[in-house]
Amino acid sequence: MSLFKSREERQAARRVRQEQREAQQAAEQLLERERLERFMEHEQLLTTAAGIASLDLVCHRDTWLWIYRWCIIWEKTKAKAQDSIRSAAPDDPNVLTVALSGPVLVNIMSRLYWHQKSEDQERRIFGTRFYAAFVAVVSQVDPAAAPGTAVPPVVIDAKAVPAATDEPHAS
């Protein structure tokens, strides 16, 4: 038995390694393409969100505080966001309705998008859940719709339900 591999065995091993490298590169390219597509979808959602005049967020007070703390980064926006808390559910003072303008909505969605990728478990979980709730509503908005078209509220917490007297805001 020879300690050295034959020329054919070395070439076969080289081909296998080359095929493995090519497969790895193809997988990495596919992942990168998928990441780019997701980011482009996110950018389109932000463009749509920017055109929304007002959208109601219905959530628990603690949820709003988390979003306010982790997603709203500009002081002027923070003041406007706090002023936009319009109502609470009559039967539960911990359920808030917050009217969000397009710029505030873009700010929140941008931050939530990146929180989904956070190494911090809490931020990643909340970022993913909250971002999905915003996407579910914003993706239904038609940017070409006539002004005054109703936009449904974003409802995050399972118990939070919009009050029957509140009308959805126009886009």
The string of pLDDT tens digits covering residues 114-147 is: 988 889 999 999 999 999 999 999 999 988 877 7
Specify which residues 96 forms β-bridges with.
59, 88
The residue among 133, 110, 124, 100 whose CA lies nearest residue 42 is 110
Distance CA(132)–CA(155), nearest Å, equals: 11
Single pTM value for the model = 0.72
All structural domains of the chain with their residue ranges: 41-165
Residue 154 near residue 57, CB atoms below 8 Å: yes
